[in-house]
């Protein structure tokens, strides 16, 4: 894992970036910006011959794949397909699942162990940013 941050306002980490490399070879690059003029929630997954971009704000999915597309395409040699999905809020659904598990006792979509693992990664990222030369005062 590599992580760094930058302060826009003194004594605050306003921009944080973490690059997490998994044993499988998968790489996650996560950026959080506290002082942004736009509210964005996006995920991009990269694979050998293309990538998938999901925009949770607009409910759009773009699949960019290497093909025999003409060289005058927007991205030469690629095909771009766009889809929309039914509107929803993943964070609200996660919270609803958690609250439902408290009352009815079914296992929530995100288990306590999963939450613990996510918190552990977040704390590791914060620790690496605190030790970086760019961000003073932590997150």
**Measuring CA to CA, how many Å separate 130 from each of 16, 79, 110, 117, 125?**
11, 42, 28, 20, 9
Residue with the bigger pLDDT between 121 and 36: it is 121
Residue spans of the domains in the chain: they are: 1-37, 40-88, 89-128
Predicted confidence band of residue 116 (pLDDT cuts 50, 70, 90): very high
pTM of the shown model: 0.64
Distance CA 83, CA 105 (A): 36
Mean pLDDT calculated for residue range 49-76: 82
For residue 70, the model assigns a pLDDT of 67
Q: Mean of the per-residue pLDDT values for the chain?
A: 82
């Amino acid at each position: 894992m590599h992580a760094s941050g930058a302060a826009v306002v003194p004594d605050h980490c306003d921009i944080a970036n973490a690059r997490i490399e998994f044993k499988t070879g998968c790489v996650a690059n996560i950026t959080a910006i506290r002082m942004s003029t736009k509210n964005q929630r996006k995920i991009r997954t990269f694979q050998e011959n293309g990538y998938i971009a999901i925009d949770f704000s607009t409910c759009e999915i773009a699949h960019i794949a290497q093909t025999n597309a003409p060289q005058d395409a927007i991205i030469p040699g690629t095909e771009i397909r766009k889809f929309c999905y039914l509107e929803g809020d993943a964070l609200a659904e996660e919270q609803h699942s958690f609250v439902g598990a408290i009352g009815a006792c079914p296992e929530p979509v995100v288990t306590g162990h999963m939450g613990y693992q996510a918190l552990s990664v977040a704390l590791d990222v914060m620790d690496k940013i605190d030790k970086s030369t760019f961000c003073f005062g932590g997150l």
